[in-house]
């Protein structure tokens, strides 16, 4: 099964402010900002080769938490329609706080997850998933097959065909990805290292006061932020 790699994709992420400690860590660890690539700084316990293997996958997307997963824009819509919809949405949804984070292993990768998930976070994801679903292009054969090959549950298959992505709504888990898939021994060593590297800010939490639109020009390219939308709704 092939895919048209020339088609652009968009995604709605929460990207931590790079002036704060979590954002600075993400920038140094992944070796990139939301808008450009840089050189990363591996932990003292890693060789350059080990480090590049660990961060290769998440570096492609940037330091972020997914709110609306990558999608191709429906042919009935243009970028200005998506931009206008996100602008209007951001005026209605209020900012909120994630009070703390924990380091967690999710399958074979490591991520930061909320210590306690605020209800507003799930509401934000749910509304973006449902209200923007009409902007999704129809699910491609390539994406259908690659997701089905992962062994989805019945509910996840239902979501895949309805929303073009299986891990939404009650199957959604907000996380900030720090590594690609790792072998068990690599995962244990990396978890200890990242535990030390994130200890200074995990209890600080973050203010979710904006959402960001990222774009991938082709499927071979990384995702980069193209616009921020401040959340200005009344809480």
Q: What pLDDT score was predicted for residue 235?
A: 81
Q: Which residue has the higher pLDDT, 48 or 100?
A: 100
Confidence grade of residue 1 (pLDDT, cut at 50, 70, 90): low
Question: Which pLDDT tens digit goes with each residue over 62-75?
Answer: 999 999 999 999 99
Mean pLDDT of 89-98: 98
Among the residue ranges 33-42, 91-100, 147-156, 203-212, the one predicted with the least confidence is 33-42
Please answer whether residues 223 and 216 qualify as being in contact, where contact means their C-beta atoms are separated by less than 8 angstroms: yes
Q: Is the pLDDT of residue 37 over 70?
A: yes
Return the closest-CA partner of residue 22 out of 137, 132, 178, 167: 178
The domain 9-226 is placed in CATH, from the list 3.30.70.20, 3.40.50.720, 3.40.47.10, 3.90.1140.10, at 3.90.1140.10
Confidence grade of residue 5 (pLDDT, cut at 50, 70, 90): low
Q: What pLDDT score was predicted for residue 132?
A: 99
Q: How far is CA 58 from CA 15, 41, 121, 147, in A?
A: 13, 15, 21, 19
Question: Which pLDDT tens digit goes with each residue over 167-179?
Answer: 999 999 999 999 9
Mean pLDDT of 101-120: 98
d(Cα 120, Cα 128) in Å, to the nearest integer? 12
How far separated are the first and last CA of the chain, in Å rounded? Answer: 46
Q: What pLDDT score was predicted for residue 4?
A: 73
Question: Which pLDDT tens digit goes with each residue over 21-33?
Answer: 999 999 999 999 9
Conformation bin of residue 126: beta by default, left when phi > 0, alpha when psi is -120 to 50: alpha
Q: What pLDDT score was predicted for residue 167?
A: 98
């Amino acid at each position: 099964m092939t895919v048209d790699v020339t088609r652009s994709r968009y995604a709605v992420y929460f990207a931590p402010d790079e002036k704060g400690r979590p954002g600075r860590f993400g920038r140094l660890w992944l070796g990139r900002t939301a808008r450009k690539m840089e050189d990363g700084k591996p932990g003292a316990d890693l060789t350059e080769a080990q480090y590049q293997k660990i961060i290769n996958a998440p570096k492609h997307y940037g330091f972020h938490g997914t709110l609306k997963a990558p999608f191709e824009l429906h042919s009935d819509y243009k970028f200005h329609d998506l931009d206008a919809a996100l602008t209007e949405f951001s005026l209605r949804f209020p900012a909120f706080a994630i009070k703390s984070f924990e380091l967690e292993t999710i399958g074979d990768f490591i991520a930061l997850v909320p210590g306690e998930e605020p209800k507003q976070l799930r509401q934000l994801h749910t509304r973006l998933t449902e209200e923007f679903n009409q902007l999704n292009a129809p699910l491609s054969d390539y994406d259908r097959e690659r997701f089905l090959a992962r062994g989805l549950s019945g509910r996840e298959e239902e979501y895949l065909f309805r929303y073009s992505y299986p891990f939404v709504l009650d199957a959604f888990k907000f996380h900030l990805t720090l590594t690609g898939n790792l072998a068990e021994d690599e995962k244990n060593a990396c978890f200890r290292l990242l535990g030390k590297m994130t200890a200074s800010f995990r209890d600080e939490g973050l203010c979710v006061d904006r959402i960001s639109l990222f774009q991938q020009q082709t499927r071979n390219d990384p995702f980069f932020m193209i616009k921020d939308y401040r959340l200005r709704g009344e809480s």
